[in-house]
């Protein structure tokens, strides 16, 4: 591959990290489609197979801040390549797994390695594009990959699994990953702070890891365990105690893995609040769309995947448009407005019923994705601009961490709310309904209609709650005032 000119180099860097990010995020969405085949091949229960996803989420959440700190200290390119290569090795091993425990182990390896991508990729782009306008455009394009991967996962995964089996969803990472690795070696320039004395915060990393692992675990398993069960109560205590110990360690360590001074930076805090509320509302409600389409509208998995194509188009079209607003409109206004549009898109889902068509699902998805998309560049850039250049990796890892926890929290919260709302609605509707002719057929029809009405109304309530959460997130965004800071890449280069 020829070496690009210096004028083009930065855009080749963008393409390179896009490949890595897309591959990692695609892997998270595509594996869910393979679960039925894995369950059949390994002769395991659905509950046992669920740990394939849970283990991945846990390991990913724990190691994101660790990789971010390592990238700032030993070099972003080095950490990016280490993570990427180990991710490919884990993918091949997962594709060759012989039973469920081996597959879970290899998924953990994938998750640990894959968590290096977000903080290092964002820091690499921030230093490659020192100009704020170009950086915002690059970050906006890169951020849109997250949504695109979530959409294209089902579209790519379905044909792969049907044609080549479930192992293909892991093995496909290898050829694409080899190209991405070669590009990273050629195009990405190393960056770190050579004058910094590296004293890695192992105790802080350990306490943070335990706290995050227990928190994500209860968010993922709380519905099946019961939120007040002994298992859940133990995880609450572990989360709290290890979290307190983490804070105590960070206050005393000369180079904390997460500098607590970030949280005195109101730009950073308001951006995190907006991101948490947005991703909690979006992830918590959007994951219910395929369930609704397949349960009440009769769509199969492939047809459901097609519903999300317009969402991907809207997201990828809106992200570059939002980047053009940098320097023209205040970031807080763009982020707030984008969140409001996304909230409106979510609210439109509350009108779904059993007579809804594909258009009735596609339109809210397009509106929601467009709103999310044109604020992506400003959200990501706000974090990069609000912290010292030497801490972009750690700051971006905190942002990734908040998004992951928000998504897990949203899914857990709305899953529980949906169950509660269905029960409440059944009781409410039953109290105002009656049957005049008590035959077996009439009573069965009567009961079925009440349950159907209760379920559909429960989905409507969930989407109304999600829209309200995003509306609150929009209010937080209007308080974001991003400083105008140009990053000098010379200060970030290794000797």
pLDDT tens digits for 44-71?
876 677 778 777 877 777 787 777 777 7
Sign of the alpha-carbon torsion through 285, 229, 213, 268: positive
Q: Identify the weakest region by mean pLDDT among 80-84, 96-100, 288-292.
A: 288-292
- Where b means 16+ CB within 10 Å and e means fewer, 32-71 reads bbbbeebbebbebeeeebbbbbbbbbbbbbbbbbbbbbbb
The answer to whether residue 365 scores a pLDDT higher than 80 is yes
Domain boundaries, the chain: 6-200+255-492, 201-254
Contacts of 245 (CB under 8 A, 6+ apart): 207
Copy the structure tokens of residue 490.
Answer: 């010379």
Please tell me the distance from the alpha carbon of residue 225 to that of residue 204, in angstroms, as a whole number. 29
List the Cα angle 402/403/406 in 5-degree steps. 85
Q: Is the pTM of this model over 0.85?
A: no
Average pLDDT, the chain: 79
Q: In this structure, are residues 337 and 159 in contact, taking their beta carbons and an 8 Å threshold? A: no
Whole-number percent of the chain with pLDDT over 70: 84
Instruction: Write the pLDDT tens digit of every residue in 411-451.
Output: 777 877 887 888 887 777 777 666 665 666 666 665 677 77
pLDDT at residue 245, rounded to an integer: 92
Q: Which residue has the higher pLDDT, 173 or 150?
A: 173
Q: Identify the weakest region by mean pLDDT among 146-155, 216-225, 253-262, 399-408.
A: 146-155
pLDDT at residue 46, rounded to an integer: 64
The answer to whether residue 29 scores a pLDDT higher than 60 is yes
pLDDT at residue 492, rounded to an integer: 43
pLDDT at residue 380, rounded to an integer: 72
- Where b means 16+ CB within 10 Å and e means fewer, 264-286 reads ebebbbbbbbbbbbbbbbbbbbb
- Mean pLDDT confidence for 78-91: 90
What is the Cα Rg of the chain in Å?
23
pLDDT at residue 443, rounded to an integer: 63
List the Cα angle 76/79/85 in 5-degree steps. 135
Q: Which residue has the higher pLDDT, 73 or 12?
A: 12
The answer to whether residue 197 scores a pLDDT higher than 60 is no
Alpha-carbon distance values, 320 to 132, 138, 142, 295, 403 (Å): 14, 8, 10, 35, 21
Question: How confident is residue 2, by pLDDT bands cut at 50, 70 and 90?
Answer: very low
pLDDT at residue 495, rounded to an integer: 34
Question: How confident is residue 363, by pLDDT bands cut at 50, 70 and 90?
Answer: very high
The answer to whether residue 17 scores a pLDDT higher than 80 is yes
- Mean pLDDT confidence for 359-385: 82
Whole-number percent of the chain with pLDDT over 90: 10
Q: Which residue has the higher pLDDT, 213 or 88?
A: 88
Q: In this structure, are residues 314 and 373 in contact, taking their beta carbons and an 8 Å threshold? A: yes
The answer to whether residue 375 scores a pLDDT higher than 60 is yes
What's the CATH code, domain 6-200+255-492?
1.20.1250.20
3-state secondary structure the chain: CCCCCHHHHHHHHHHHHHHHHHHHHHHHHHHHHHHHHHHHHHCCCHHHHHHHHHHHHHHHHHHHHHHHHHHHHHCHHHHHHHHHHHHHHHHHHHHCCCCHHHHHHHHHHHHHHHCCHHHHHHHHHHHHCCCHHHHHHHHHHHHHHHHHHHHHHHHHHHHHHHHHCCCHHHHCHHHHHHHHHHHHHHHCCCECCCCCCCCCCHHHHHHHHHHHHHHHHHHHHHHHHCCCCHHHHHHHHHHHHHHHHHHHHHHHCCCCCCCHHHHHCHHHHHHHHHHHHHHHHHHHHHCHHHHHHHHHCCCCHHHHHHHCHHHHHHHHHHHHHHHCCCCCCCHHHHHHHHHHHHHHHHHHHHHCCCCCCHHHHHHHHHHHHHHHHHCHHHHHHHHHHHCCHHHHHHHHHHHHHHHHHHHHHHHHHHHHHHHHHHHHHHHHHHHCCCCCCCCHHHHHHHHHHHHHHHHHHHHHHHHHHHHHHHHHHHHHHCCCCCCCCCCCHHHHECC
């Amino acid at each position: 591959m020829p070496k690009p000119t210096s004028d083009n180099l930065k855009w080749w860097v963008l393409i390179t990290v896009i490949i890595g990010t897309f591959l990692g995020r695609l892997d998270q969405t595509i594996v869910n489609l393979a679960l039925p085949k894995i369950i059949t091949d390994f002769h395991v229960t659905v509950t046992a197979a669920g740990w394939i996803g849970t283990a991945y989420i846990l390991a990913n959440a724990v190691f994101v801040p660790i990789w971010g700190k390592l990238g700032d200290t030993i070099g972003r390119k080095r950490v990016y390549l280490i993570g990427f290569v180990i991710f490919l090795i884990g993918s091949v091993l997962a594709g060759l797994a012989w039973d469920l425990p081996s597959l879970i182990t290899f998924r953990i390896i994938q998750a640990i390695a894959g968590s290096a991508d977000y903080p290092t990729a964002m820091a690499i782009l921030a230093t490659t594009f020192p100009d704020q306008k170009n950086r915002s455009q690059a970050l906006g394009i890169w951020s849109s990959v997250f949504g695109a991967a979530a959409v294209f996962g089902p579209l790519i995964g379905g044909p792969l699994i049907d044609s080549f089996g479930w192992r293909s969803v892991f093995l496909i990472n290898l050829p694409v990953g080899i190209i991405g690795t070669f590009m990273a070696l050629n195009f990405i320039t190393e960056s770190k702070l050579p004058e910094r004395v590296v004293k890695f915060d192992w105790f802080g990393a350990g306490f943070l890891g335990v706290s995050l692992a227990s928190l994500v675990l209860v968010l993922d398993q709380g519905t099946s365990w019961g939120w007040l069960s002994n298992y859940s109560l133990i995880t609450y205590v572990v989360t709290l105690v290890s979290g307190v110990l983490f804070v105590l360690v960070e206050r005393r360590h000369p180079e904390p893995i997460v500098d607590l001074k970030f949280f005195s930076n109101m730009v950073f805090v308001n951006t995190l609040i907006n991101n948490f509320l947005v991703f909690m509302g979006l992830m918590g409600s959007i994951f219910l769309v395929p369930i609704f389409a397949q349960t009440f509208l009769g769509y199969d998995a492939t047809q459901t995947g097609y519903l999300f194509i317009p969402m991907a188009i809207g997201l990828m079209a809106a992200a570059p448009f939002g980047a053009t607003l940098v320097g023209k409109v205040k970031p807080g206004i763009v982020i707030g407005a984008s969140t409001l549009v996304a909230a409106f898109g979510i609210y439109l889902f509350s009108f779904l019923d059993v007579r809804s068509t594909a258009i009735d699902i596609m339109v809210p998805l397009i509106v929601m994705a467009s709103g999310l998309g044109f604020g992506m560049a400003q959200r990501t850039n706000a974090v990069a601009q609000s912290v010292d250049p030497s801490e972009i990796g750690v700051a971006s890892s905190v942002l990734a961490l908040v998004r992951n926890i928000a998504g897990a929290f949203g899914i857990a919260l709305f899953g529980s709310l949906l169950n509660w709302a269905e029960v409440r609605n059944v009781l409410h509707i039953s109290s105002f309904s009656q049957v005049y002719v008590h035959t077996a057929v009439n009573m069965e029809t009567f009961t079925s209609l009440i349950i159907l009405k209760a379920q559909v109304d429960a989905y409507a309530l969930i989407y109304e709650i999600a829209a309200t959460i995003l509306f609150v997130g929009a209010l937080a965004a209007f308080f974001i005032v991003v400083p105008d800071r140009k990053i000098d890449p010379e200060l970030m280069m290794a000797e």
